[in-house]
């Protein structure tokens, strides 16, 4: 692939920490933008010390390395007048500025939108908050699990008798980061037409609400009836049988949208024949899923797939990471890459999921140490 990427020449200043904002910076960096992290001297951004499974590499958490590769680090004390003045000079030459401080923090520092716009009226100024910029939740910590919990999402995952169950990953952060990029790129496209910058705002909570637009819309248009999770193998609170996950003789099988009469005929389950209408697939969901659970338990996952897939039934094995990452279907995607640090250590991670001109995007530049590029940036931009 050509060395030219879509965002080549775009300078992004990232005043972000933890996951949502930095994940957006990573996506832009992979697409060619130059992303400079503005960090506190010595300790850097808070995400350097937030670890998954207490794994650290070269003094920073493993997760920091995965979400901040392909960036540079400029150390500045924003409470110091000289440091702040140099940062403002950098802002004057930037295309995008991102931050995820709580509402009011940038005003205190003196880098709120109106100030920055006066410095550079072409800049795309983008911020992430937890719950928006007004209302009773403004002061709450903008953290992934808390946003999931407040959004209603935890009442969709798990089975009927389970407690509220959050998703097993930082879905609010990652999805909000994707929305962040969408807003920033759309503002850059508009700037290309009008020459004007923009203010872009997203929040963890609004991203979680958008994620649930189909089920929230169902709730709003169905008499405010709460979603009911299936008793066993729940996968979607509002979809009919057989939608869900079933235990097989040696593993698990997921079933998507399938006409029950077609499924009954293919697997030879005559007990399902009495459920002849689509209404019954909704109203008798639990009964149908119990029958299927007993039936699928009689064969292995591979045996069922050999019957169902040739008949064009939407189904899949349920992989764990060991099985997935060693499967040829995963390997052919080329999702792996290794990032080599200056101390010789390697971080094994994944690449951008985007392909350009039918080729994957690899960017193996390591995450920076705190302030690693401060002096070179000062020299380059005459700060």
Percent of the chain with pLDDT over 70: 99
In order of 90, 93, 185, 331, the CA distances from 122 in angstroms are 13, 10, 14, 43
pLDDT at 3: 67
pLDDT band at 1 (very low <50, low <70, confident <90, very high): very low
Both structure tokens of 263: 């499924």
Separation between Cα atoms, residue 133 and residue 104, nearest integer Å: 9
How many CB atoms neighbour CB 367 within 10 A? 25
DSSP codes joined into one string, 234-258: -S-TTSPTT-EEEE-SSSEEEE-S-
pLDDT at 59: 93
How many CB atoms neighbour CB 234 within 10 A? 23
How many CB atoms neighbour CB 2 within 10 A? 7
Phi, psi of 137 (to 5 degrees): -100, 5
pLDDT at 367: 96
Classified as helix, coil or strand, 289 is: helix
Mean pLDDT of 72-97: 98
What confidence tens digit (pLDDT) does each residue in 62-74 have?
999 999 999 999 9
What confidence tens digit (pLDDT) does each residue in 137-177 have?
999 999 999 999 999 999 999 999 999 999 999 999 999 99
pLDDT at 250: 97
Buried b (16+ CB within 10 A) or exposed e, 326-354: eeeeeeeeeeebebebeeeeebebebbee
Catalytic option among 155, 236, 327, 348: 236
Mean pLDDT of 10-16: 98
What confidence tens digit (pLDDT) does each residue in 310-319 have?
999 999 999 9
Mean pLDDT of 323-347: 95
As a whole number, the mean pLDDT across the chain is 96
Closest-CA residue to 350 (of 62, 89, 92, 158): 62
pLDDT at 364: 87
- What sections of 17-170 are H helices per DSSP? 20-30, 62-68, 81-91, 105-109, 113-119, 144-151
pLDDT band at 342 (very low <50, low <70, confident <90, very high): confident
Buried b (16+ CB within 10 A) or exposed e, 168-177: eebbbbbbbb
pLDDT band at 356 (very low <50, low <70, confident <90, very high): very high
Separation between Cα atoms, residue 308 and residue 263, nearest integer Å: 8
pLDDT at 193: 97
Closest-CA residue to 119 (of 84, 92, 159): 92
Domains belonging to the chain, first-starting first, are 11-211+367-381 (3.40.50.10540), 244-325 (3.30.1540.10)
What confidence tens digit (pLDDT) does each residue in 17-61 have?
999 999 999 999 999 999 999 999 999 999 999 988 999 999 999
Please tell me the number of Cα atoms within 13 Å of 344 on its side-chain side: 0
- Prediction pTM value: 0.94
What confidence tens digit (pLDDT) does each residue in 258-306 have?
999 999 999 999 999 999 899 999 999 999 999 999 999 999 999 999 9
65 as an active site residue: the answer is no
Q: Identify whether the C-beta of residue 323 lies closer than 8 Å to the C-beta of residue 331.
A: no
Classified as helix, coil or strand, 318 is: coil
Separation between Cα atoms, residue 169 and residue 145, nearest integer Å: 9
pLDDT at 113: 98
Q: Identify whether the C-beta of residue 351 lies closer than 8 Å to the C-beta of residue 51.
A: no
């Amino acid at each position: 692939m050509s060395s030219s990427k879509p965002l080549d020449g775009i300078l992004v200043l990232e005043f972000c920490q933890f996951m949502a904002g930095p994940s957006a910076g990573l996506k832009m960096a992979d697409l060619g933008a130059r992303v400079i992290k503005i960090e506190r001297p010595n300790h850097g951004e808070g995400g350097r010390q937030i670890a998954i499974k207490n794994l650290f590499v070269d003094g920073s958490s493993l997760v920091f390395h995965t979400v901040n590769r392909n960036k540079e680090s400029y150390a500045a004390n924003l409470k110091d007048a000289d440091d702040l003045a140099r940062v403002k000079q950098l802002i004057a030459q930037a295309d995008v500025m991102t931050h995820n401080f709580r509402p009011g923090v940038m005003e205190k520092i003196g880098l709120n939108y109106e100030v920055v716009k006066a410095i550079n009226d072409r800049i795309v100024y983008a911020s992430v908050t937890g719950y928006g910029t007004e209302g009773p939740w403004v002061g709450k910590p903008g953290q992934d699990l808390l946003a999931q919990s407040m959004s209603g999402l935890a009442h969709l995952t798990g089975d009927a008798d389970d407690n509220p169950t959050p998703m097993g990953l930082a879905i609010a952060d990652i999805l909000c980061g994707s929305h962040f990029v969408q807003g920033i790129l759309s503002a850059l496209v508009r700037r290309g037409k009008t020459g004007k910058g923009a203010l872009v705002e997203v929040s963890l909570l609004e991203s979680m609400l958008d994620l649930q637009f189909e089920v929230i819309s169902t709730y709003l248009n169905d008499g405010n009836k709460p979603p009911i999770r299936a008793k066993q193998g729940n996968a979607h609170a509002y979809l009919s049988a057989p939608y869900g996950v079933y235990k097989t003789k040696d593993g698990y099988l997921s079933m998507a949208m399938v006409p029950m009469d077609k499924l009954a005929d293919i697997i030879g389950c005559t007990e399902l024949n009495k459920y002849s209408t689509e209404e019954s697939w909704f109203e008798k969901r639990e009964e149908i899923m119990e029958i299927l659970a007993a039936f699928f338990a009689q064969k292995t996952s591979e045996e069922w797939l050999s019957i169902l897939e040739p008949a064009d039934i939407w189904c899949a094995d349920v992989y764990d990471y060991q099985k997935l990452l060693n499967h040829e279907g995963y390997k052919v995607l080329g999702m792996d890459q290794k990032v080599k640090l200056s101390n010789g250590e390697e971080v094994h991670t994944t690449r951008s999921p985007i392909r350009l001109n039918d080729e994957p995007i690899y960017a193996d530049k390591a995450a920076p140490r705190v302030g690693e590029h401060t002096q070179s940036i000062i020299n380059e931009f005459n700060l």
